Structure 1
Amino acid sequence: MGTLLSLRGVTRTVTLVDGSELHILRGIDLELEEGDRVSVVGRSGGGKSTLLNLLGLLDTPSSGDLEFQGAPVRRMSEKRRARLRGKSVGFVFQQFNLLPERTALENVMTPLYYAAGRDFWQRERLARELLDRVGLAERADILPSRLSGGEQQRIAIARALVRRPRLILADEPTGALDVETGQAVMDLLEEVARESGAALVTITHDRAVAVRSERRFRLDTGRLSAVELEGAEQEEAVSA
């Protein structure tokens, strides 16, 4: 497996209205390989959303090196980052972020309107294939408001995967679901990611979700550290 994403000494600092600086991320080191399964836990305000934005090429570091498949992200134009993000990164959010006026099929098709060639012209077929893959082929023409939370999350997963991304970023993917539905969603997300060879990074407060990953990290006050404990001890460390 090759390195997909590399962060070395990455920081993110913002200047506040009074001129002072807020240090959100402090020297993050992380290597993501193709097919990796990684979870990141931490308290609210610890920098998880900022880290997600960097991993998803929505933002650039204040300092340090961030490379996507060997290409330095800080040297990329915003247009190039957007193109790479649309092709290579899939996002799954806690609140689903579905377009309420569009059907399940139309929501899954949305990323393909920005594709080129075969993916654009065959967007409906590709979207229907993903809906079938997540068990919602018969719900293709239904609006999100008429679907359960678990069904909406599966549509969000299909939308994230329709362009066959190399990296899937799941931000609290089970946070709005009951325990049983959340487990089913994680089973599906991990299965599809494994079949496609994509790396899966899950940002979560749920220790039951975190311990499913092969590698686990805690982000606290802008610093990332590995969580190496196992079993019950690990769960205690994750939730601390």
Structure 2
Amino acid sequence: MSILRLDDVTRSVELPDGDRLTILTGIDLEVEAGDRISIVGRSGSGKSTLLNILGLIDSPTTGMVSFDDADVRGLSSAKRDRLRGRSIGFVFQQFNLLAGRTALENVITPLLYETGPQFWRRRSIATRMLESVGLGQRLDSTPDKLSGGEQQRVAIARALVRRPRLILADEPTGALDLETGHTVMSLLESVADETDAALVTITHDRAIAARSSRHLRLDAGRLTAFETPLVRTAADAL
């Protein structure tokens, strides 16, 4: 059974002059547990729009989006938010950490929406997650005291602390140097492997894309597969 499925999804917006701008056209995509999918595309190809639909933030103009084989289009905003918070984790290029809050406080934040034992044990759960990404000694450090790679590790810990079934990584290495970027991807893949979560990485970096087992290209709003990655290793990208 698929976790997430898009069937003939389109997305368009109305321009001030009354014309419509088509961003996505006929997108079909099925994401299953354990999938490692990369989506590459140039700026303006519709990657951010597709990410918002995959993350249940936006709805398609036409077509169907299903989560656990249930159509999500009819869900209320509150139910959609609960489903997203429980089942989907986001890792962003710019980290989006809370300034002035410690690494531990940043990772605890998603657990404030839990109930029962997960809520009452939120501090220990967040601590273990930070330890798993190698930041057990940086619990009390604020973002301005962390390197770029450390901040991304905090962002990964925050995204995974609720053990989501689907992880969406939006240019997760775009603000990092090459070596740190691949270290972060290895970490992200390793943590995802622990729970058999699906990992969808949206990137312009073909070396990062090559790490996935399924390779997709978004061009002019259309999503197509290619059989082999365009770049096989980080060294090939140099």
* TM-score, L = length of structure 2: 0.96
Alignment partner, residue 10 of structure 2: 11
Indicate the SS of the match to 2:96. coil
Alignment partner, residue 27 of structure 1: 26
Alignment partner, residue 39 of structure 1: 38
83-92 vs 11-20, which deviates more?
Answer: 11-20
Q: Does 1:81 align with 2:76?
A: no
Alignment partner, residue 131 of structure 1: 130
- After TM superposition, the runs of 4+ consecutive aligned structure 1 residues lying more than 2 A away are 229-232
Indicate the SS of the match to 2:73. helix
Give the direction of change, closer, same or farther, for the CA distance of 1:231–1:216 in structure 2 (3 Å limit): closer
Equivalent AA in structure 1 for residue 132 of structure 2: R
- Paired with 1:117 and 1:67, the residues of 2 have a C-alpha distance of 28
Aligned length: 234
Alignment partner, residue 156 of structure 2: 157
Deviations 1:102-140 (A, max 9, x none): 000000001111122221111111100100000101100
- Paired with 1:214 and 1:168, the residues of 2 have a C-alpha distance of 15
1:231 Cα shift? Answer: 6.2
1:79 Cα shift? Answer: 0.8
Q: Is the 8 A contact 2:209 2:229 kept in 1?
A: no
Deviations 1:200-225 (A, max 9, x none): 00000111100000001000111000
Alignment partner, residue 192 of structure 1: 191
1:229 Cα shift? Answer: 2.7
Q: Is the 8 A contact 2:35 2:198 kept in 1?
A: yes
What is the 5 A alignment of 1:55-74? 55-74=54-73
Alignment partner, residue 168 of structure 2: 169
Indicate the SS of the match to 1:99. coil
Identity among equivalent pairs (%): 64
- By percentage of residues, which structure has more helix? 1
Q: Does 1:100 align with 2:78?
A: no
1:171 Cα shift? Answer: 0.4
Q: Is the 8 A contact 2:89 2:159 kept in 1?
A: yes
Equivalent AA in structure 2 for residue 216 of structure 1: H
Cα RMSD (Å): 1.3
Equivalent AA in structure 1 for residue 37 of structure 2: V
Equivalent AA in structure 2 for residue 167 of structure 1: L
* TM-score, L = length of structure 1: 0.95
